[in-house]
Each structure stands twice: as structure tokens, then as C-alpha cells.
Structure 1
Amino acid sequence: MKPRDKSTNYKPAEDRDKDLRLALYRIQKGRAHTGETKVTIAAVAREAGVSTALIHNHYPGVAEAIRETQGRSSRAMRDVKHQGLIAERKKSEAYRQVIEELRAKVANLASINEVLLNENGVLKTKLNDRKVVDLNLRKSQQ
């Protein structure tokens, strides 16, 4: 281990990492020197006597340990979001399939509708070409 320069506040990375993890442990056990009770990156930084930026920028493993303690692990959050994405993709695929089925039904109904409109036009033409006798009138005359 390197000897520390007493004129600066710099510690070797391994020592600082250990200090941060001990600060996290003290907060978790309710023995924080600063009275911190809630585990946050800011609380751990205050307990260890460093800035939050130092934890974020140089000790991502400690930051991840803090997030895991909070139940907000980036890995866990990523996995939850990924599972949600997979579920939404399955729903989307099912909706696409339903849409295709409905489009086929609409096309079929449009075709049937065209045939019926054509037949209706033919029947109207035939009706106009013939003399139509109202059967109700014939019955009342007899």
C-alpha cells in the first residue's frame, strides 16, 4: 500500500471504496456517525465525507450497491422494463393479427355489399320493365 501524503485529502481508490461501503453499512445498521437513517447516495456521501459526484463518477459499484439497497438497482429496473417491453410486443403482435383478420372481414363484407347492390339494381330494373299488379287490390275487387 502506498504511503499517503498528509497535506492532501486524497486516498487510494481501494481505501475510499472501503470507506464508502462502511458508510453504507453503518447507515443500514442505524449506526451512522452523521445520524443518517435513509440510504441514499447523498447520505452515504455525507457519512463518508465526500461529494455525491465522487460516488457517481468514480465508484459506480458503490452507487449500484446503494441503489440495490433502495430496491432501485439499475439491473433490476432494466430487467423489469425489458419484461414489460416483451409483454407489450406480444400484445402488439396480437393486435396486428386481429387487425389483419378484421381487414379481411371488411374486404369480404365490402364484396358482398357490392354484389347485393348490383343485384338490387338489376331487380329494380326488372321491376320497372314489367307491369306490377298489386295483389291486395285484386283480392279486394273479387
Structure 2
Amino acid sequence: MKRKDKTSNYKPAMDRAKDLKLAIYAIQKGRAQSGETKVTIAAVAREAGVSTALIHNHYPSIAEEIRQIQGRSSRAMRDVKHQDLIAERQKSKGYRQEIEELEAKLAKIASINEVLMDENQKLKTQLRERNVVELVPSSRTDKSRV
């Protein structure tokens, strides 16, 4: 029994890259022999007769090209996420500033409240010491007295 040489199945990297680019082109033009219609890494791998791992591990530029075609470029996604992060940091900064302002207002109001409560207590004490009776307005008025 004659053994098949494993190296006969391997293509040079340049030839394999060309096959992958042709597979992308064929899918884009609707001429894929595998019947693929959407450009994905898995579809390109099937069309070229290779594994998706081969594309990911040995042809990252082609994987990136496929992602760009899909609108999912890692660079574009990174840039979008970076812009989102900057916007969220701005919002967070604004919220922190608003919290500081509100805490300062709250401290001021609490201080005023303490002063008013203290003054109120002093006035009540003075009223008790003078035996002054508080007048409570009645709900009805007696016109016969006027």
C-alpha cells in the first residue's frame, strides 16, 4: 500500500491567499460554487475548501477584509466603542458635577433648617416663660361682636 505524501495537499501561502480572495470575489458576484450568497468567514472558507481557523490564524488580513465587507471591521468597531466611551465619560463627568452641586445645596439647606429649628425652639421657650397664650385663628367669625 502506497502512502500519500501529506505535503501534496498544502499550497504556498501566496496561492492560498489568492484562492481566498477569489472565493470572496465569487461570493460577491453570486458565482460561488458552494452556493454561498453572503460574505462571511465561514462562507469564504467553504468556497475555498479550507477551515475557518486557517483564515483566522494564518490570514488575519483576509479575515479583516471579510469583516470590512460585512461592516464589522474590528478597527471600525473599536473606533465606535471608543467614541461611545468618550461620550459616556462626558455624561459621567456631568453627573458627578451635578451630584456635587446638589450635595452642596443640601448641606446649605440643612444648615438653614438647623438655624430655623433653633430659633423656633427659642421663641417657644420665650412664650412659655411669659405665659403667653397662642392665638389660634377660628374657622368661623362672630359678626355679632363687631
Which whole-Å deviations, capped at 9, do the CAs of 1:103-127 have from their partners, x for residues lacking one? Answer: 0000000100110011011001101
Distance 1:68 1:30 in 2: 18
Ranges in structure 2 where 5+ consecutive residues have no aligned partner:
138-143
Question: 1:16 matched to which residue of 2?
Answer: 16
Partner of 2:58: 58
Q: Deviations over 1:21-45 (max 9, x none)?
A: 1110110111112111011101000
Tell me by how many angstroms 1:131 deviates: 2.4
1:71 corresponds to which residue? 71
In the alignment, the residues of structure 1 paired with residue 63 and residue 116 of structure 2 have an alpha-carbon distance, to the nearest angstrom, of 71
Consecutive unaligned residues in structure 1, runs of 5 or more: none
| Aligned-residue CA RMSD (Å) | 2.2
- Give matches, 1:72-91, under 5 Å: 72-91=72-91
The alignment's TM-score, normalised by the length of structure 2, stands at 0.85
Report the equivalent of 2:141.
Answer: none
2:134 counterpart of 1:122? no
Structure 1 ranges of 4+ moved more than 6 A: none
Provide the aligned length of Structure 1 versus Structure 2. 135
Q: For the residues of structure 2 that align with 1:39 and 1:84, how far apart are their CA atoms? A: 28
Flag the 1:67–1:132 CA change in 2: closer, same or farther, 3 A.
Answer: same
Q: Amino acid of the residue matched to residue 36 of structure 1?
A: E
Question: 1:133 & 1:33 partners in 2: Cα distance?
Answer: 103
Structure 1 Cα separation of the partners of residues 113 and 43 of structure 2: 72
Does 1:35 pair with 2:35? yes
Give % identity: 75
